[in-house]
Amino acid sequence: MKSVDIVIIGSGLAALSLADRLSNDKNVIVLTKGKKYNSNSVRAQGGVAASMSEQDDWENHFRDTMVAGCNVNNHEAVELMVRQGPGFITKWIEEGLGFDRDRFGKILLGKEGAHGKRRILHAGGDATGNVVMEFLMNRLQGKVTIVESEMVLDLIVEEGNCCGVITSNDQNRISTFHANHVILATGGCGGLYEVTSNDETVTGDGIALAYRAGAKMVDLEFVQFHPTMLNTTSDISHGLISEAVRGEGAILITEKGKRVMKDIHPLEDLAPRDIVARVIQSEINNGNKVYLDISMIDNFETKFPTITSICQHATIDVKAKLLPVAPGAHFLMGGIKTNLSGLTTVKGLYAIGEVACTGVHGANRLASNSLLEGIVFSNMLANYLLNLKEETTLPLVSLRATGSVRFKVDQLPTKAEIRRLMTAYVGIERTEQGLVHAKQWIEQFELNSNQKLDITKISKQDVEKINMLTTCKLIIKSALERTESRGAHYRNDFPVADNEWINKQIIRQRSIMRDKQKVKTEVVK
Ligand code: SIN
C-alpha cells in the first residue's frame, strides 16, 4: 500500500493544473488508466474562451454562456468562471504559455458558435489543447509522479470518508493508494457513443466510481453533440472539425448546395451547438450528405494544421474545400454534483473538469468554455486544499473496495453493443419509448438486487464495461425524468422549453454581430 496526501485520477487539464498548484506543498500522485496524453484536453482544437479584448467584458461572456446553457446554469458558477478566467490565463501567458499572436505580437482572438464577441485564444492554430498540456507537463516534470496504465477499479470509503483507491495495472497487479483527498478528473463519457470527439479512454469511469461510492449526480441527461465531426463512410471517429472553422466563415451545405442553417436560427451557422447538431442530423436522416464549405478561408492548412492532418489521415483532400461532417458525442454538461470548490457529497472525494457538475454549463456548454472551466475550478479546489488546517491522516480500517458490482460479469455486452444502444436511443433526439427500451436492455445484464460481487476479482476490461453500463443507466434515468426539451436534451415527445429571456438575448447578440461583420480579427494587447 502507498500513502500520499492527494490522489488525482485523470491526466487532463483540470488534473494537471491542480497538481501544478499543489505540488510544492503536498505529496500528490496522478493516476491515469491510459498514457498521460490520453485526455480530451490534449485534443481541444478551438481554444480557451476569455473576455480579454477591450471590446469585451465578463458580462458579455456571462450572457453568452447563459444563453447557450438555456438559462439553467448556476449563475454563481458562471460569474466566477468568466470573471476569474482572464486572470489565470494572463498569469500563464506571463509564465510562457504561447497563444497565437499577430505580426505585432498581439494575441489573436477567434470566434465560435454562440459567442457574441471574438474571445477565443488559440495556440498552434487549432492545437490549443496540445500546446496547453505540453506547457503543464513541462511544469510538472520532476515534481509530480504521473502513473500511467493504472486503472482505478474502485474508491475506498470508510465511515463516510473517501480515503483511497484500489487500482490495477497493465500486468493486472492490484494496488492500494491511501490518501486524505481523492480527486476525480476523469473527463466525461463520449466513449458511450459510436461517433465521438473524445479520447478512446473516456468511458464514464469517474461517474461510475463516484456513484458506487454514494456521491450525488446531477444533470446527466445533458450530453452535448458537436455538430461537425469529420464524417466518412467508415465507422471510425476520425476527429473534430473545430467550430473555429465556422468562426472564420465556413458554412454548412448539403450536397445540393442548400445552406442548412439558413432561416433556422438568427446566428445561422454559429447557432448554439445543440441546434446545429440536430439540423445536421435531420438532414442526414433524410438521406442528405452535409458538408462544411471552407472555400472562403484563405490559407486553411496554415490556420488549421490539426484539422488538415485529421483530413489527410481520413484521405479527405482539404483542397476540394468541402469537408463531410456529422455530429458526434462531445461533452457531458452534467456529472458528479460539486460545490464551487469541487467538494462532492462524499467527504474526502472531489471532482473537477468535465466529470464534475457545478452547473456552470447549464443544458449546453458554450464553445471553448471547457478548458476555462478546468483552469478556474482546479484553482478553486487548490485554494480549498491548501487552506485546510493541518490534517491528521485518517486511520484505515479495512481497505476494501466500496462498490458492490451489480452486473452479471459473465454475460456483459460488448462495448460496440452499448454504443449502438446509446446512439440509437439516448443520442441527439430521444423519446420516452426509446429511453425505456434502452433502460430495459441494460437491466437484462443486472444481478438480482441482493447479489454482490467483489470488483477486485473482475478484469479491467469488464470493470470498464460495467462503468459504461452504470453511466448509461444514470444518463437514461435522468433523460426519462426531464420531461421537456432543453439544450442538449431533446425529447421528440416534448416541446422545447420556452424561454423569453433567451430569445431576447439572441436578438441582442445578432445586432452586435451585424455591427461587427466587417471585423475579421480582433486582437488584445
Ligand atoms: C471546437 O473546437 O469546436 C471544440 C471546442 C469546444 O468544444 O469548446
The model's pLDDT over 110-146, given as tens digits with 9 standing for 90+, comes to 999 999 999 999 999 999 999 999 999 999 999 999 9
Ligand 1 contacts CB of residue 367 (under 6 A): yes
- Whether 34 and 45 map to the same domain: the answer is yes
In the beta sheet, which residues pair with residue 343? 350
Query: Phi/psi zone of residue 47: left (φ > 0), alpha (ψ -120 to 50 degrees), beta?
Result: left
Is 453 inside any structural domain? yes
Is 234 inside any structural domain? yes
Best probe residue, ligand 1, of 240, 325, 366 (max atoms within 8 Å of C-beta): 240
If we measure between CA atoms, which residue out of 38, 30, 31, 9 comes closest to residue 140? 30
Is 163 inside any structural domain? yes
Ligand 1 contacts CB of residue 242 (under 6 A): yes
Mean pLDDT of 4-23: 98
If we measure between CA atoms, which residue out of 488, 217, 231 comes closest to residue 356? 217
pLDDT of residue 447: 87
Calculate the CA dihedral of residues 197, 200, 205, 206 and round it to 10 degrees. Answer: -50
Percent above pLDDT 90 for the chain: 84
CA of 271 to the centre of ligand 1 (A): 13
Is 394 inside any structural domain? no
- Whether 67 and 8 map to the same domain: the answer is yes
* CA 73/CA 66 separation, integer angstroms: 6
Mean pLDDT of 3-9: 96
Flag whether pLDDT at 403 surpasses 50.
Answer: yes
- Whether 66 and 168 map to the same domain: the answer is yes
pLDDT of residue 46: 87
Q: List CB contacts of 404: < 8 A, sequence separation 6 or more.
A: 212, 452, 453, 455
- Whether 79 and 217 map to the same domain: the answer is yes
CA of 404 to the centre of ligand 1 (A): 37
- Whether 474 and 419 map to the same domain: the answer is yes
Flag whether pLDDT at 333 surpasses 60.
Answer: yes
Flag whether pLDDT at 489 surpasses 90.
Answer: yes
Instruction: State which of 165-169, 230-234, 236-240 shows the largest mean pLDDT.
Output: 165-169
Q: What are phi and psi for residue 108, nearest 5 degrees? A: -85, 140
Domain count for the chain: 4
pLDDT of residue 448: 77
pLDDT of residue 515: 44
CA of 206 to the centre of ligand 1 (A): 22
Which atom in ligand 1 lies closest to the alpha carbon of residue 45? 2
Mean pLDDT of 494-509: 65
Helix (H) / strand (E) containing 420:
helix 415-425
Give the model's confidence band at 525: pLDDT under 50 very low, under 70 low, under 90 confident, else very high: very low
Give the model's confidence band at 435: pLDDT under 50 very low, under 70 low, under 90 confident, else very high: very high
What CATH number is given to the structural domain containing 291? 3.90.700.10
* CA 496/CA 444 separation, integer angstroms: 32
* CA 336/CA 338 separation, integer angstroms: 6
Q: Give 255-269 pLDDT, tens digit per residue.
A: 999 999 999 998 899
- Whether 308 and 210 map to the same domain: the answer is no
Residues 53, 416 contacting (CB under 8 angstroms): no
- In three state form, how does the secondary structure of 85-128 look? HHHHHHHHHHCCCCCCECCCCCEEEECCCCCCCCCEECCCCCCH
Instruction: Look at residues 351, 386, 421 and tell me which one is the last residue of a structural domain.
Output: 386
Active site residues: 273
> Is residue 208 helix, strand or coil?
helix
State how far the alpha carbon of 146 is from the alpha carbons of 28, 30, 150, 312, in Å: 9, 5, 10, 32
pLDDT of residue 507: 56
Is 489 inside any structural domain? no
- Whether 196 and 311 map to the same domain: the answer is no
- Whether 251 and 358 map to the same domain: the answer is no
Reported for 416-425, long-range contacts at CB under 8 A and 24+ positions apart, including other chains, are 418/192, 418/465, 418/468, 418/469, 418/472, 419/191, 419/192, 419/193, 419/194, 420/194, 421/472, 422/192, 422/193, 422/194, 422/472, 422/475, 423/193, 423/194, 423/195
Q: Give 295-326 pLDDT, tens digit per residue.
A: 999 999 999 999 999 999 999 999 999 999 99
Ligand 1 contacts CB of residue 243 (under 6 A): yes
Instruction: Look at residues 306, 329, 352 and tell me which one is the last residue of a structural domain.
Output: 329
CA of 24 to the centre of ligand 1 (A): 32
Give the model's confidence band at 389: pLDDT under 50 very low, under 70 low, under 90 confident, else very high: confident
Domain of 512?
495-525
Amino acid identity at 170: D
For Cα atoms 379, 347, 38, give the angle at the middle one, nearest 5 degrees: 50
Is 490 inside any structural domain? no
For Cα atoms 43, 46, 51, give the angle at the middle one, nearest 5 degrees: 130
Is 393 inside any structural domain? no
Instruction: State which of 295-309, 483-497, 500-514 shows the largest mean pLDDT.
Output: 295-309
- Whether 112 and 27 map to the same domain: the answer is yes
Q: List CB contacts of 14: < 8 A, sequence separation 6 or more.
A: 41, 185, 352, 353, 354, 373, 374, 375, 377, 378
The number of C-alpha atoms within 13 Å of 360 and in the hemisphere containing its C-beta is 33
CA of 367 to the centre of ligand 1 (A): 5
Flag whether pLDDT at 245 surpasses 90.
Answer: yes
Q: What are phi and psi for residue 454, nearest 5 degrees? A: -85, 125
Query: Using CA positions, which residue lies closest to atom 8 of ligand 1?
Result: 368
Instruction: Look at residues 386, 401, 424 and tell me which one is the last residue of a structural domain.
Output: 386
Percent above pLDDT 70 for the chain: 91
Q: Quick one: DSSP state of residue 164?
A: E
Is 487 inside any structural domain? no
In the beta sheet, which residues pair with residue 161? 158, 347
- Whether 131 and 233 map to the same domain: the answer is no
Q: Work out the mean pLDDT of the chain and round it to a whole number.
A: 92
- Whether 65 and 110 map to the same domain: the answer is yes
Q: Give 348-383 pLDDT, tens digit per residue.
A: 999 999 999 999 999 999 999 999 999 999 999 999
Ligand 1 contacts CB of residue 65 (under 6 A): no
Ligand 1 contacts CB of residue 184 (under 6 A): no
What CATH number is given to the structural domain containing 32? 3.50.50.60
Q: Give 152-181 pLDDT, tens digit per residue.
A: 999 999 999 999 999 999 999 999 999 999
Flag whether pLDDT at 27 surpasses 80.
Answer: yes
- Whether 235 and 335 map to the same domain: the answer is no
